[in-house]
Amino acid sequence: MCGIFACHNHPDVVKFKPTALKLSKAIRHRGPDWSGSVTCHNTILCHERLSIVGVESGAQPLTNADESIILAVNGEIYNHRLIRKNLKEPYHFKTTSDCEVVIPLYMEHGIDVPKYLDGMFSFVLYDKKLDRTIAARDPIGITTLYQGWSSEQPGTVYFASELKSLHPVCDKIESFPPGHVYDSATGERTRYFQPTWWDGQKIPQKPADLKLLRETLEKAVRKRLMAEVPYGVLLSGGLDSSLVASIAQRETLRIKKLAEAANGSAEETVDPDKGEGLVGIDDENNLSTMTFLPQLNSFSIGLPGSPDNKAALEVAKFLGTKHHVMTFTIEDGLNALSDVIYHLETYDVTTIRASTPMYLLSRKIKAMGIKMVLSGEGSDEIFGGYLYFHGAPDKAAFHEECVRRVKNLHLADCLRANKSTSAWGLEARVPFLDKEFLEVAMNIDPQEKMITNERIEKYILRKAFDTSDEPGAQPYLPDQILWRQKEQFSDGVGYGWIDALKDQAEKHVTDEMMKNPKPEWGSDIPDTKEAYWYRLMFDEHFPPSCASTVMRWTPKWSKQTDPSGRAIPIHKAKYADA
């Protein structure tokens, strides 16, 4: 991930530049490899770079030949090679960066540019000739982006990857909505992403095509291996991350065979000093110059004896990945909480519980020289995998909740994955949120996703990768993992983690405090001591103007107010009072 900060139509941009550079520096953790800025007319674009593709030549902001178009991007454009091949007009590319294709696309399609991008991205582009700024965010909001305004400068608009770059100069801040594009010419944001499944009221009728489901997920993982740096997979031992790891490992082995066929031996493609080679795949599944690791690295974290670490080890052994287990103590987690909330920029209970171990693990991963990881976010929203979906009354309600959860991922799991990893200059990619895969999975008749006595949660996803009735087929996962009950990450790292958070909150928040919440909180009143404690820590870092970007949630169809999966009675290790 990278970090961007931009300001359009500032009354004195030259005087503002030192402040802009300082605000950009506040998110340098997202992009520690290089910093850049361009000032033009009344606009400034700043960029903090994490180099993944086009490592040597892709410094930003990027410009076209006459430097009349300036671009700052955070993200990865997976179809950049196809875009380069299919441009209507010849364009001289200055870099090999995947992000540079946004400029010629803008020159050909104007504000419609994000419709042509397949990837995760947030960008701000300035057209000098038109004195026009456009900004856009990827369809689901995998990357983070915020928009801000100042009452002291009503005509000025700000953009940044994180709140911490905006709140010092803005008194109004909004989370930039996913799937939208902003145009300074109109001052409006418009939705460009309009998939067939977006209206949750229209119930899909298509039966599940298990073969297509498998193939599109495999393709989604494959395209996300685009990198020129060492990468790995986050492996909790749950279904979603295990499937991603399995597909990535298969692809690693497939590329190795291609390399052997193309070069005579795999060793010829490997740099003995770096332990890596320069083979990979392009859009047609042909070899191209990309980093290939002889062995796929996988990573898990948990308290000593945690369910996730145990399952992850089992999966890693089955797949043959080079696995790294990290254990953390409850004290480690508690000590990190304030920093976690500073980086997350939220006070949502579920997000903080799950982000803390992910934050700790990301630091270890980056220290090992890994810069990109694949992760399993999105699957539970798409397939209704959370245990509270057991309580869905009918398929219409089930589907409506799936759509609602996918639409809100940018405020929940996508935010967690992005900011927990970006805190240490690590990039997380999420294959389940691939546009093509979403189009397939979200248009399946929700009756086939519903949980019954015969069908465990995410049954059709499990069945799509069940090769037991395919003679001679290599299993993707061991049966006990393929059919393992859903375990939310904050539970799976060790049941003592959430229990400790609740106990600690009791020490910091009194009954009297619960009765007298802060007046500035308005109607957004914490309903538990744990939630109250997190809100207090959030307030230490951010002013009240930032609170409107936070969403808190609790499960539907359940009497439990605690968002933990273990609070749902069907959980095998449920709370005693559930």
Q: For residue 376, say whether it is annotated as part of any ligand binding site.
A: yes
Q: For residue 234, say whether it is annotated as part of any ligand binding site.
A: yes
Cα gap 3→124, rounded to integer Å: 11
Q: Which two tokens stand for residue 224?
A: 């996300």
Q: For residue 301, say whether it is annotated as part of any ligand binding site.
A: yes
Catalytic residue among 2, 402, 414, 546: 2
Q: For residue 163, say whether it is annotated as part of any ligand binding site.
A: no
Q: For residue 375, say whether it is annotated as part of any ligand binding site.
A: yes
Cα gap 565→495, rounded to integer Å: 11
Cα gap 185→473, rounded to integer Å: 56
Q: Which single residue is written with the structure tokens 């790891």?
A: 245
Which residues in 474-502 are b (16+ Cβ under 10 Å) and which e?
eebbbeebbebebbbbbbbbbbbbbebbe
Sheet-wide strand order for 231-234: 322-327, 297-302, 231-234, 372-374, 427-429
DSSP assigned state of 206 = B
Give DSSP secondary structure letters for 356-394. HHHHHHHHHHHHTT--EEE--TTHHHHHT-SGGGGG--S
- 61 preceded by a cis bond (ω within 30 of 0): yes
To the nearest 10 degrees (0 to 180), the angle between helices 349-367 and 495-508 is 120
- Alpha helices (H) in 122-277, listed in sequence order: 210-223, 239-263
Cα gap 327→310, rounded to integer Å: 11
Q: How many residues does the chain have?
A: 578
Cβ neighbours for 319, distance < 8 A, ≥ 6 positions apart: 245, 246, 249, 296, 298
Q: Which single residue is written with the structure tokens 């002889």?
A: 294
Cβ neighbours for 534, distance < 8 A, ≥ 6 positions apart: 337, 341, 347, 348, 349, 352, 526
Q: Is 2 a catalytic residue?
A: yes
Which residues carry a binding-site annotation for ATP? Answer: 234, 301, 375-376
Which residues carry a binding-site annotation? Answer: 98, 234, 301, 375-376
Instruction: Give the residue numbers annotated as catalytic, written as ranges.
Output: 2
Which residues carry a binding-site annotation for L-glutamine? Answer: 98
